[in-house]
Every structure is written in C-alpha cells, then in structure tokens.
Amino acid sequence: MTAEERRLQIKAKCAEFGGGYAQLVEPINDMLLALDADISQETADQVLLNIELYAKGEKYLPDCHLDESNHFLDDGIKALKAGDLGNAALQLFGAGLNFASFAAKANGVKTVEAHPMLAERFKRLKEIED
C-alpha cells in the first residue's frame, strides 16, 4: 500500500467517525496528502485506531497524541537514515507537534513528567548515525 492510499484511509476514517479528534487529524492529513508525504503502515494503523477509539470514548486525546508522536519519531529517524530529508523533516515536525499537544493536554488529565520524556527524544535524535 502506498502512502497516498494510507492517507486516503485516514481521510475516510475521519469522515466515518467524525468528532473532535478526526477534526484535528483530517486537515493536517489533507495537507500531507497534497504534498505526497510518506507515512508508514504502522503509523497509519495507529492513527486509524486512535480516530476510532477516541470517537468511541475509549481513549483520551493526549494518549492519541503521544502514540502518534512516538510513531512519527520512529518514522522520521528511519527517513533520516535513508537520506529522505524532506519526509524526515515532516515526520519529526509531526513528532514534536504531537508531543507538545500531548504534554499540554495531559497535564489537565493526569500527572505527566514531560521533561524526561522530551529529553529521551532529544537523546534519540542526537544519537542518530548514518
């Protein structure tokens, strides 16, 4: 399956379930679709699952953001190692955006120690080698 096909699946899932999380995901997904931005199957699967679980009330919004931050970080590191700098930049931007959303929103829902989590992400990025 291509990245375009995965992004179209995400778009369809947003339309199917609607709700607050889908309203956050869909416009960004549309922008990335227009850019032909890469997305791994694993990340797409997580986004699809998060849209559904959030709409059913089975997952908190901050947890959706954290899942996606983790996946985008992994995808970004893989893209960097593969020399795909444009997609790496998009993935890492997505990882940071989702992590910031997680940290800001989780603070009101549960106790979160975001700084050590952020430090670990910085460390992973700093340790990237060819």
pLDDT digits (tens, 9 = 90+) for 30-54: 999 999 999 999 999 999 999 999 9
Question: What pLDDT is attached to residue 73?
Answer: 97
Short-list 48, 104, 102, 50, CA closest to 73: 102
Q: Where are the domains of the chain?
A: 3-127
Cβ count within 10 A of residue 31: 11
Question: What pLDDT is attached to residue 114?
Answer: 86
The pTM (predicted TM-score) of the whole model is: 0.91
Short-list 75, 57, 67, CA closest to 19: 57
CA 130, CA 126: separation in Å to the nearest integer?
A: 12
Q: Which residues contact 80 (CB under 8 A, 6 or more apart)?
A: 88, 92, 128
